[in-house]
Structure 1
Amino acid sequence: MRSSASYPRIIAIAHIGVAAIGVMAVAVIGLMLQLPSGRAVPGPPAAARIGQSAQPTPAQPVPTVAEPVPTVAEPPGVVSTPEFAKQVKANELGLVPVLMYHRILKKRFASIDRTPDQLRRELEKLAKQGYWPITAKEFATGDIRVPAGRFPVVLTFDDGHESHFRLDASGNPVPNTAVGVLLDVARRYPEFRPVATLWINHDPFGLRKPEEQAAAVRWLVGHGFEVANHTWSHPNLAAMRKKKVKEQIVRLERLLKKLGAGPAITMALPFGAMPHPKKIARHGEWDGTTYDFAGVFLAGAEPSLSPYAKKFDPVAIQRIQSNGNKGECRKWCSQYWLGWLNKHPGERYVSDGDPTKISVPQRLQGNIAPKRRGQLVIY
């Protein structure tokens, strides 16, 4: 696998292209997807009942009921032993795909955009192949609760775009938003856990009113989603002074706290650009407010090491862009890597079902982080 330093070459052009399109959108084509805010309410009948004169009838409100959100129970309790770990082929030092999504649009305007159908097909593939979604927070903190023999996957959405999440008038996520698609897949694949991480900027989901922002975040957090830090205005942190980097992070931390989602445990670097020094991406203070992240995520092009591995770097966690297999994506995006992991099952993280233990084949025991050695189960 390539070093984390190589990731900007792959994704920077695509990110910059998105930014340029966003600037041109208002004058040219109205780039941002306008998602419905509610369901249509039927108007009055076209004709009066038989025997009555046709009089205008005021529209009556239609009672609506929020659809139940699919939930998945906690994995059954398992106590891992060498014999059991061998039976399920556990490898909790294996690679984990952390998938990176941006806008979910009916018509793509940039290479990193995905359509609702493309997102749905990828999530269905993950469900069929035995992946179990966890949040970036759960991954970075090592709180990986996945059934035995299954594989963790982290679904992440950058920029808090309106195509990620909106509630309709019934209190349901709009169907073709990212969250709506995920919930739909989970309804059809009941063992596919419907959670994801949404990293936001200062106008989450295109909402301007504080009460609407708070309602959206409250729904997400209440249904197991993680809403976390992607800086205030999405700048290139590598080109900023230390004080400004910290201000960008802290201003978003204050918003998250106000909306009921803070303090954040994870942060995604805009454009995948690392500030200098690197450590201020994870810990810092500005204007009396501190931040301390368990994990800082890149915009890279490879699966991540296990958080239990001694070479795992919590300040530079790799991600995989969701995309097909054209151009550089022939080798560095989700279609390639999900296929590669299927062809190399010995390299993939496989859960032992016991969150208190770390089960690995004997050949990998030397790769574990020293602080985790007391949790080892070797077979």
Structure 2
Amino acid sequence: MEDVTATLSKPSLKIGPYEVDPPVVLAPMAGITNVAFRQLCQEYGAGIYVCEMITARAVVERHPGTMHMMTFGENEKPRSMQLYGVDPKTMAEAVRIITGEGLADHIDSNFGCPVAKVTRKGGGAALPFKRKLFADIVRESAKAAAEAGVPFTVKFRVGIDDDHLTYLDAGRIAEAEGAAAVSLHARTAAQRYSGQADWTKIAALKEAVTSIPVLGNGDIFSAEDALRMVDETGCDGVVVGRGCLGRPWLFGELEAAFGGRPQPTPPNLGEVAKVLRRHTELLVEHDGHDKAMRDIRKHMAWYFMGFPVGSELRRGFAMLSSMDQLDDLIAKLDHDAPFPTAATGPRGRQGSPGKVTLPHGWLDDPDDDCVPEAEDMHSGG
């Protein structure tokens, strides 16, 4: 792996009262960034690690599954939670519950989800097009959070599609309405996760939003990518999503890079297997044996990406049902196999671009502040 050291001055990132050093945030990912995965990532490097998306209405209604998702490790500081909502009143009430009961130290908000079941009801990446409604949500939520001294941040995309870009307005509105920071995933909703993120949009947002931090998200698959994003865009920090799938040690590489230190030696297959086992143990602690076994299966292809693991072994890992079976499978791996160069590139879902599904007449009036009927989303996405 190329020796990556910081060739630029490290950005100073402060979100509310929290110094974030290195300036790295783990993006919330449904079904991925539970307390087990966050704890695993934190063992490699500092930063902010955001839990899976939580639905504001589910918080207000105290849905048992959602309350279980709102779990943090004893060493997580700040405890960071992402809220999804489309109603200013419901969002603000959820924020007051979270802050009033001391359930989190930082609240982020999701206006970037491109999934059809979200956008077809006016949520996620569709919502910033409605400028007044977006402003109402940010203002009421940020105000409720500020009452408890908790920073409220906003994450969004470039826009719905190339004909409906919303990110500059969204950034300025969030800044004006009390957000402590903004994050931009430099793709449109129509792109989903395909193609390349347009980092020039992050640079443009940084020029437009001057009083609060601007974080960049999209196509950070290595420490070198993170340094390059900061260098090219001037952003105050980076948000890492798919790049850490099956590679939680990426946060150690990021910490070294931003600290100007040489990159740690990447793990061989035996070391990766130890990380995988640690991940499984943490899942068992959080969710119990059976759910943990089901959950870890989806991580297997990411952990073994590029490694010489035969098809029979891969099938065994993908059908895992017990810790004993995991240990038997790990014993059959070539523990000395070096980390493959091919495993440092893109990983996770990519898919294809497509037309964004929106409510009927959604694009008719950007100043319509009527609340859409999108509050029946489940926490986690």
Q: TM-score range by the shorter chain?
A: 0.3 to 0.5
TM-score (norm 1): 0.37
Structure showing greater radius of gyration is 1
TM-score (norm 2): 0.36
